Amino acid sequence: MKKTLWSKTAAILAAFVILLTFGACGSKQAKDYGAASTYTADGSLNETADIKAETKAFSGAPEQADSPKLTYTGNRKIIRNASLDLSTEKYSATLKAIGKATAELGGYIEASHETKYDNYAYTSMTVRIPTEKLDEFLAKMDGAATVTSKSITSEDITASYIDTESHLKALRTEQDTLLELLSQANGLSEILEIQDRLTNVRSQIEYYQSLMNTYDNELEYSTVSIDVNEVKHEVVSGEGFWARIGAGLKESFYNVGTGIANFFSWVIIHIPYLLILGVILFAICVIIKKLKAKRKTKKEKKNAGQTDSADVSGQK
């Protein structure tokens, strides 16, 4: 009797546990079925979610899973730019050499501005060169003029590039899903909600696509800022002790000769002013001389009058 009672009790408990288990599974499935749109780790829409439940959730932003850490195993995305300061006696020839090298390497001149002063000229330009040919272009510039300053910068945008690409992919997937939902929508409010979300998604797609285009352009073409200065004398110092001394002496003699030439040029240019100044100084000297002579005559007359008075007093 007791054995039968224990058997019945065990059977009832087992049945109760089984019912609880199926109840929990059913509750979880019902919860998953009614969830809003969810996204997988790679940014694509979860196709297992219920479409009707997704439509109800479009009044707000869809819930997304935590984004995975970005990893990149391909080539790095490096933006390379450069700047050059050139001095040259052959100004026009140097500008032509820059244009020729740019065209030969498949680049283009983005902007150029020329200024002239005191018989000298100065040009500032921005050149775009294919990134893989930047070093070749810089080598050509070493032969076109004297490079007084050169700098090269590199910026790694790999993380930003991949992040932007991932956002764009997710947004395009969401756009396709929204278009599909729009074709299945029935109510006016439901259609308006989907269209509003679709407009927002398309705006973000345009923004990220523009950003990607900018990245691609900067990666494909390097920006080279060039300042070209016209000079009358280029100083090219070689390597080694005697080469530096020779270049220094040459520069010193050139500066002395230039100084003397500038002095005589200044004198010749300012001859009219010097003549006027000379006439003024001459007139001042003449006036001073006349004043001195007049003062001297006055003094002599005064001394002569005093002498006559003394003689008259002595005779008395």
- Establish if 180 belongs to a structural domain: no
CA angle 180, 185, 190 (to 5 degrees): 115
- Establish if 85 belongs to a structural domain: yes
Q: Note whether 155 and 78 are within 8 A (CB).
A: yes
Statement: residue 141 has pLDDT above 90: yes
- Establish if 291 belongs to a structural domain: no
- Establish if 110 belongs to a structural domain: yes
Q: Which tokens hold the place of 133?
A: 């040919």
CA distance linking residue 129 with residue 224, whole number of Å: 7
- Establish if 152 belongs to a structural domain: yes
Average pLDDT over residues 16-42: 40
If you average pLDDT over every residue of the chain, what do you get? 76
Q: How confident is the model at residue 119 (pLDDT cuts 50, 70, 90)?
A: confident
CA distance linking residue 127 with residue 115, whole number of Å: 18
More confident of the two residues 62 and 18: 18
- Establish if 13 belongs to a structural domain: no
47-93 pLDDT tens trace: 333 333 343 344 344 444 343 344 444 578 999 999 999 999 899 99
Percent of the chain exceeding pLDDT 90 equals 43
CA angle 136, 110, 88 (to 5 degrees): 60
Average pLDDT over residues 202-227: 96
The enclosing domain of 115 has a CATH number of 3.30.70.260
Q: Which stretch of 161-170, 209-218, 236-245, 269-278 has the lowest confidence by average pLDDT? A: 236-245
What pLDDT is stored for residue 118 in this prediction? 77
- Establish if 115 belongs to a structural domain: yes
- Establish if 96 belongs to a structural domain: yes
For 123, the domain range is: 78-156+221-230
What pLDDT is stored for residue 244 in this prediction? 64
Average pLDDT over residues 129-151: 93
Look at the chain and report how many structural domains it folds into: 1
Q: How confident is the model at residue 24 (pLDDT cuts 50, 70, 90)?
A: very low
What pLDDT is stored for residue 312 in this prediction? 53
CA 120 to chain centre: 28
Q: Which stretch of 182-196, 197-211, 262-276 has the lowest confidence by average pLDDT? A: 262-276
Q: Note whether 9 and 1 are within 8 A (CB).
A: no
Specify the pTM. 0.55
Q: How confident is the model at residue 301 (pLDDT cuts 50, 70, 90)?
A: confident
CA distance linking residue 158 with residue 243, whole number of Å: 46
Q: How confident is the model at residue 273 (pLDDT cuts 50, 70, 90)?
A: confident
Statement: residue 225 has pLDDT above 70: yes
What pLDDT is stored for residue 249 in this prediction? 65
Instruction: Name the 3-class secondary structure at 6.
Output: helix
Q: Which stretch of 51-65, 152-166, 189-203 has the lowest confidence by average pLDDT? A: 51-65
What pLDDT is stored for residue 7 in this prediction? 52
Q: How confident is the model at residue 167 (pLDDT cuts 50, 70, 90)?
A: very high
